[in-house]
Amino acid sequence: MRVAELLVPPDEVLLVYVHVIDHPEGRVLVDTGLTELHPAVADIDPRLVPLTEWDVDLAGIDIVINTHLHFDHCGGNHLLAGKPIYVQRRELDDARSLDDHTIREWVEAPALQSVPLDGESELLPAVRPVPTPGHTAGSQVVVVETGGRAFVIGGDMAAWSKQLVAA
């Protein structure tokens, strides 16, 4: 679900997505996009899809998984206070300590229930966060197995279409 657009100079548009996994044991939201503006990112002129137009009711989300904690992937975490928010420990540590990693107050809001992961795990049957250091040192993807196939949900694995062209 596309939830925002960012204008990246000189003239590129970066689309921001979140993903919902409807699992029999709980509804999972992978990344929380961007839900409000912040002066730190005003220069890229975020255009937000209003929450009322999101195709998911956040009150019905049971579990959050952040692929990483850049501001456009955790900007709605504050709306999910009290829900477990799974993120790799390295990513959480970096977001809390490195300058310019994210908008720190969006990660450190006291009501957030961040749950650090150490490597691969199976949060629900057939739903597995897997570390994929690269875009950030603590990035992870979510592997979902359903219907005999595996789907991989990533965040900023290839932000630009030109990154998908085989080298």
Q: What residues make contact with Zn ion under the rule CB under 5 A?
A: 70, 156
Q: Which is nearer to Zn ion, 6 or 80 (CB)?
A: 6
* Residue spans of alpha helices (H) in the chain: 71-74, 89-97, 104-108
Minimum gap (Å) between residue 157 Cβ and Zn ion: 10
C-beta separation of 34 from 75 below 8 A: yes
Tell me which amino acid residue 91 is.
E
Minimum gap (Å) between residue 140 Cβ and Zn ion: 12
Sign of CA dihedral 122, 127, 73, 49: negative
Q: Which is nearer to Zn ion, 5 or 156 (CB)?
A: 156
Tell me which amino acid residue 161 is.
S
Q: Which is nearer to Zn ion, 114 or 139 (CB)?
A: 139
Report residue 25 as tokens: 């044991």
Q: Which is nearer to Zn ion, 62 or 93 (CB)?
A: 93
Closest-approach residue to Zn ion (CB):
70
Minimum gap (Å) between residue 43 Cβ and Zn ion: 16
Exposed/middle/buried for 163, CB within 10 Å: 0-12, 13-18, 19+?
exposed
Minimum gap (Å) between residue 52 Cβ and Zn ion: 26
C-beta separation of 66 from 83 below 8 A: no
Minimum gap (Å) between residue 63 Cβ and Zn ion: 21
Sign of CA dihedral 67, 57, 82, 128: negative
Q: Which is nearer to Zn ion, 13 or 59 (CB)?
A: 13
